Structure 1
């Protein structure tokens, strides 16, 4: 339960084996690569950085092609349901297996085939759009049972096809009455437009056309061959043919599930190759030698050397070095805790990882957070349903490591929720046959417990601060006067409060008062360290007393443990009271549904409030006393695990044995 100890390593190997070395380190998954000039061995002018940008770009282009194919296929494959996605455990591969699958598959030809299908589908979509327009156009003239081309063969008459607004039909009749040798026929009529055939003598052509322009006649030029009905049949046949072709292509794509899975594997391979190629830019190379540096957990140093030895055929020079004081800020942070504490690391990661010379606050924060979380929900039924729901989900479904850790986090928080639910005697807002405290009548006692809880956590934070300062060189004075003084202040305050209230006849108030005065003096002395001049020391020392208000507000902040617990319990009880007023029949029908719905809402709000306010108490009231943070996460060279799960050769062997 601590920050994992790290070692810096620097390895020299022959250039001919550097690709295999990087591959081995990527498979090892436990070494972070640094720029070689930050290593232990100083590189001279004979070493130059490896420019692998061209190779990286080439690999990224290959990856882009595979990802396009993967996304393209996803549009046509049957969609798995949400439940199916949760139940499907992705297959695991080693890097060697990824390489073998990629090299033995003709994926580039497959991608080109998909691009051809994509182009054809796009062409079909355009053809369908064009044919649909033609079909709509022909539908308007399908009742004209002649080929419009005959209108161009008339010797003495002029024939026109066109449209006119329905409102202009009376005006058209009036205008055509001026020309006895004119005639029109309605081909089709919609709610707004009339489709016409017009015939008139050529001698009146100029006058008729002028009259037609005054009524908004729009001449139509028929672009097809043959009769409209025949052309319409041809268009429909073409439409049916390309729709059938489209269905055939999409049906073929929908059967490519195996190919899609293979695309995931190949995408992961090229993704890992991109990562490896980018890592090569951190190397230094001469004509024959490669220089590589990085960080590795101390416990994995021997295995790292085995990997290097195997990858280089025992032709290497490896140096390990312990962390130097000036490197502390640069050391990557990897936390290691037991199964009960590790899920709470997510809270540390959200805030800030500790620096290498700090302590991992996770095991100290976890019990306080869990107890505070439980006290803010404080219902046995709510805790039980959360615990069982997560337990069932983890048994039935597959979750990746990060999600599984988050679920375990809430499952662990459900345990103190049930514990406080038993203390309050609350089960879905109903009072259980036994209870130590009532969240309805024992408000003062619960408030006092909340403040005492906060007092203990703040005091514990000061103990950690004292320990951290005492462990550092030349910090023992600060440990006594900046942490010890506040510890004495809190102890004296507690003794003074006990002497004035519970034990007024004892000497506790006197001892507490003396300790209180000594603590204030020590606080001033501790604060004076920050001043440079005498006046500055006095000013900064007196200013340190302002932290008294911060400690008081910190203790008041813990009253939210009472407030949220009581509020959630009261809301749950109010829901039950409302449902109890229903008639018996309604109580066990609509009342049961309301019971589930209303308590589901209260459960969500209670857990959300407990999660957020619990985090606030840890980040401000607890961490603010001793924890600085600012560490960076350990990022080993490994595959991305975006598309399939990659494991080391060692883990794959263990998996197959199991």
Structure 2
């Protein structure tokens, strides 16, 4: 249960094997590649950086094509629901399987076919819009039962089609009365517009045109062949044909579930090749030799050498080196804890990973966080519900490692929740037959327990601070006078409290008073080390006494353990009391529904509050005493796992054997 020990490695191989070597290391999934010039072996002028940018661009272009096809298919292929995805375990592949599937599939032709379908669907969409406009236009003139072209063949008359506002019809009548040889017919009329056929003698053309202009007549030029009704029928036939074509294309796309799965595999393959190509740019090369460097967990060193030996057939030079002092800030961090502690690593990752020369705070924080979480919920029923619900969910559904770790985290927190629920005798807000403390009447006792809990955790944090400082040769003085002095202070405060409130007849109070004076003097001495001049040392020493307020406020912060636990229990009891006032019939009908609904809300709020406030106590009151952080996560050279899950050859063999 600690930070995994790392080693830096540097390997020289013949240039002809470097592609296979990179693929092997990517499949190995346990090394982080470094730029070769940061390795152990110093590169001379014979080595140059491998420029793989052109290859990377080509691979990224291929990946972009596959991702476009995936996104395009997503719009048509029926997608599984969230529940369906969880019910089905995703298949796993090795890098070799990805390569085989990609090379044997005709995915490029398939993508081009999808592009052709996409282009045709876009054209159909545009054609539908154009035909729809033409259909609307013809609908306005469908009652004109002649071909408008005949109007152009009149010898003595002029025929016009056009529109006019309904309000102008009386005016039009008045104007046309001036010309006996004129005539108009209403083809169709809407709420605002009238569609007309006008006929008048050619001798009156200019005068009629002037009159038409005064009433706002808009001439319409018929752009189609034949009668409007016939043209409309042709348009509808065209629309029906392209709608049928569109449906056939979309139906075909909806049947491409297998092709979509294959595209996921191809996308993962090219994604892994892009990662491989980018890491290739970190290599140095001469005419015949490739230089590669990286970090690896110390326990995997022999396995790495075996992998390199196999792929290079023994033609390699491999060097390992322990972490040097000047490399501390650069070493990648990988935490390793047992199954009970590992789920709490998520809290460390949210805050900051430790540096390589620090301690892993996870195993020390986990029990305090779990107990604090349980005390802030403190209901046996709530804890039992959370534990069983997660147990059932994990049995029914399949989750990735990250999600499973998060679920296990809350499942572990449910155990102390049940424990504190038994202490408070609370079961969904109802009082159990036995209880050690009541969250309704024993508020003072619960408050004292909360402060004692905080006292213990803060004292433990100072022990860790003492250990961290003592482990450094030049920090032993600070360990005694900066950590040890505050430990003595808290211990003396504890003795004073016992002497005055619990055992007043003993000398504990006197011993506590003496220890308190010694601790404060030690605090001033420890703080003086931060000053550079004599006056500065006195000032910083005295100023360090201001930390008294910090420690007092830290202890007060733990009263939230009492406040949240009592508040949640009181709300649950209030819900039960309200339902108890219902008549018997209503109590077992609508009352049962309200019981589930109201307690579900309280469960959610209780767990949310416990999660957030528990984190606050660890980050501020606990970590602030001994933990600095600032480490960077170990980023192994492996596939992206964005589209399908990739495992090593070794793990795949284990899965098949099971």
TM-score band (shorter)?
over 0.9
Q: Structure 1 residues 218 and 588, CA, compared in 2 at 3 Å: closer, same or farther? A: farther
Report which stretch shifted further, 27-36 or 428-437: 428-437
SS of equivalent residue, structure 2 residue 633: coil
Map of 1:493 onto structure 2: 493
Map of 1:266 onto structure 2: 266
Report which stretch shifted further, 247-256 or 199-208: 199-208
Map of 1:230 onto structure 2: 230
**Displacement, 1:245?**
0.7
Map of 2:301 onto structure 1: 301
Map of 1:510 onto structure 2: 510
Structure 2 CA distance, aligned partners of 1:577 and 1:191? 64
Task: Kindly report structure 1 stretches of 4+ aligned residues shifted beyond 6 Å.
Answer: none
Deviations 1:195-247 (A, max 9, x none): 11111222222122222222222111111111111111101110111111111
Deviations 1:495-525 (A, max 9, x none): 1111111222211110100000000000001
Map of 2:79 onto structure 1: 79
SS of equivalent residue, structure 2 residue 505: coil
SS of equivalent residue, structure 2 residue 439: coil
Structure 1 CA distance, aligned partners of 2:393 and 2:219? 70
**Displacement, 1:587?**
2.2
Structure 1 CA distance, aligned partners of 2:588 and 2:202? 88
SS of equivalent residue, structure 2 residue 348: helix
SS of equivalent residue, structure 1 residue 340: coil
Structure 2 CA distance, aligned partners of 1:564 and 1:221? 79
**Displacement, 1:391?**
1.1
Instruction: Note the 1:29-44 alignment, pairs <5 A.
Output: 29-44=29-44
Map of 1:331 onto structure 2: 331
**Displacement, 1:582?**
2.1
Structure 2 CA distance, aligned partners of 1:210 and 1:491? 109
Map of 2:558 onto structure 1: 558
- Residue 430 of structure 1 pairs with residue 430 of structure 2: yes
SS of equivalent residue, structure 1 residue 415: helix
Report which stretch shifted further, 442-451 or 202-211: 202-211
SS of equivalent residue, structure 2 residue 332: coil
Instruction: Note the 1:239-254 alignment, pairs <5 A.
Output: 239-254=239-254
Instruction: Note the 1:182-581 alignment, pairs <5 A.
Output: 182-581=182-581
- Residue 132 of structure 1 pairs with residue 132 of structure 2: yes
Structure 2 CA distance, aligned partners of 1:397 and 1:174? 82
**Displacement, 1:584?**
2.4
Structure 2: any 5+ residue segments left out of the alignment?
none
Instruction: Note the 1:81-100 alignment, pairs <5 A.
Output: 81-100=81-100
Report which stretch shifted further, 260-269 or 564-573: 564-573
Structure 2 CA distance, aligned partners of 1:89 and 1:184? 75
Structure 1 CA distance, aligned partners of 2:404 and 2:208? 83
- Residue 614 of structure 1 pairs with residue 604 of structure 2: no
- Residue 28 of structure 1 pairs with residue 37 of structure 2: no
Structure 2 CA distance, aligned partners of 1:82 and 1:331? 39
**Displacement, 1:492?**
0.2
**Displacement, 1:6?**
0.6
**Displacement, 1:585?**
2.5
Structure 1 CA distance, aligned partners of 2:213 and 2:451? 91
SS of equivalent residue, structure 2 residue 40: coil
Structure 1 CA distance, aligned partners of 2:340 and 2:304? 29
Structure 1 CA distance, aligned partners of 2:463 and 2:337? 21
Structure 2 CA distance, aligned partners of 1:26 and 1:275? 9
**Displacement, 1:569?**
1.1
Map of 2:65 onto structure 1: 65
Deviations 1:608-654 (A, max 9, x none): 11111100000000000000001110011000000000000000000
Report which stretch shifted further, 428-437 or 37-46: 428-437
Deviations 1:547-587 (A, max 9, x none): 00000000000000111111111111112222222222322
Report which stretch shifted further, 158-167 or 443-452: 158-167
SS of equivalent residue, structure 2 residue 474: coil
Report which stretch shifted further, 585-594 or 437-446: 585-594
Deviations 1:587-611 (A, max 9, x none): 2222222222221111111111111
Structure 1: any 5+ residue segments left out of the alignment?
none
Structure 2 CA distance, aligned partners of 1:151 and 1:483? 106
**Displacement, 1:433?**
1.6
SS of equivalent residue, structure 2 residue 110: helix
SS of equivalent residue, structure 2 residue 219: strand
Map of 2:112 onto structure 1: 112
Q: Structure 1 residues 165 and 566, CA, compared in 2 at 3 Å: closer, same or farther? A: same
Report which stretch shifted further, 594-603 or 270-279: 594-603
Structure 1 CA distance, aligned partners of 2:347 and 2:325? 28
Structure 2 CA distance, aligned partners of 1:222 and 1:582? 76
RMSD of aligned alpha carbons: 1.0
Structure 2 CA distance, aligned partners of 1:580 and 1:157? 93
- Residue 595 of structure 1 pairs with residue 595 of structure 2: yes
Structure 2 CA distance, aligned partners of 1:196 and 1:583? 75
Structure 2 CA distance, aligned partners of 1:241 and 1:548? 84
TM-score by length of 2: 0.99
Structure 2 CA distance, aligned partners of 1:208 and 1:416? 97
SS of equivalent residue, structure 1 residue 532: coil
Structure 1 CA distance, aligned partners of 2:444 and 2:152? 102
Structure 1 CA distance, aligned partners of 2:370 and 2:516? 32
SS of equivalent residue, structure 2 residue 502: coil
Structure 1 CA distance, aligned partners of 2:79 and 2:38? 49
Structure 2 CA distance, aligned partners of 1:259 and 1:562? 57
Structure 2 CA distance, aligned partners of 1:207 and 1:592? 86
Map of 1:657 onto structure 2: 657
**Displacement, 1:121?**
0.6
Structure 1 CA distance, aligned partners of 2:590 and 2:196? 64
**Displacement, 1:168?**
1.8
SS of equivalent residue, structure 1 residue 474: helix
**Displacement, 1:313?**
1.2
Structure 1 CA distance, aligned partners of 2:207 and 2:382? 89
SS of equivalent residue, structure 1 residue 621: helix
Structure 2 CA distance, aligned partners of 1:399 and 1:533? 60
Report which stretch shifted further, 589-598 or 242-251: 589-598
Deviations 1:310-366 (A, max 9, x none): 111110000011111111111110000011110000000000000111111000000
SS of equivalent residue, structure 1 residue 501: helix
Structure 2 CA distance, aligned partners of 1:23 and 1:31? 12
SS of equivalent residue, structure 1 residue 158: strand
